[in-house]
Amino acid sequence: MEADRDAIPHGDPLALFDAWLAEAELSEPDDANAMAVATSTTGGLPSLRMLLLKGHGPDGFVFYTNAESRKGGEIRANPRAALLFHWKSLHRQVRIEGPLAEVSADMADAYFASRHPDSRFGSAASDQSRPLDARATYLDRVAALRQQHPDGAVPRPPHWTGFRLTPERIEFWMGREYRLHERRLFVRAGSGWSSSLLYP
């Protein structure tokens, strides 16, 4: 145990995230890029849901959603969020916090066009988070879009977009035997990062 007592080193947290995600893609049975995304209202009421990370790099972490959904409304009102990746197979998790900004229309168009046609139909037909009288209503809307766009080239709805979280805090957690876990918190400091270990 002495040899790896500091297995989460100080350094570049974005490079460390890349390495951990790459390992998770080999060991997790489904969706290593799945993350819990927490938002809140201007009044401080929290909400949480699972989404898929669709891009990341030095400029931040990107996900896509319907901006007219509950989460979209919360983001518009209070553009900050927290992300949580939990890779049970590796006994690891990463928490990321920071402000959100909408991606460009060109970027949203490109990602929407890359999706499977059925996913595009499903997104375009959905009034996400709003009341639905019957599932058949939604499926009928999907079918109507299929008829209108038999080639699958349904245009991106203007309210379907992406958001990029610029990380200000990134915390890495590693599970240890007997719950002697390891945690390291990185905090953005100018153009770099400071870090410190935390008690588990």
179 labelled catalytic: yes
Helix, strand, coil share of the chain (percent; to 5): 30, 35, 30
Task: Give the whole-angstrom CA distance, residue 84 versus residue 36.
Answer: 5
H or E segment to which residue 161 belongs: strand 160-165
Contact 65, 37 (CB under 8 A): no
Q: What tokens appear for 47 in the block?
A: 């909400």
* Entry field: residues in the chain: 200
Question: What Å distances lie between residue 166 and 28, 62, 124, CA to CA?
Answer: 26, 9, 27
Pairwise CA distance, residues 188 & 170, whole Å: 9
DSSP code string of 66-104: ETTSHHHHHHHHS-EEEEEEEEGGGTEEEEEEEEEEEPP
* CA-based R_g, the chain, Å: 19
Per annotation, catalytic residue among 95, 120, 176, 179: 179
Q: What residues are annotated to the active site?
A: 179
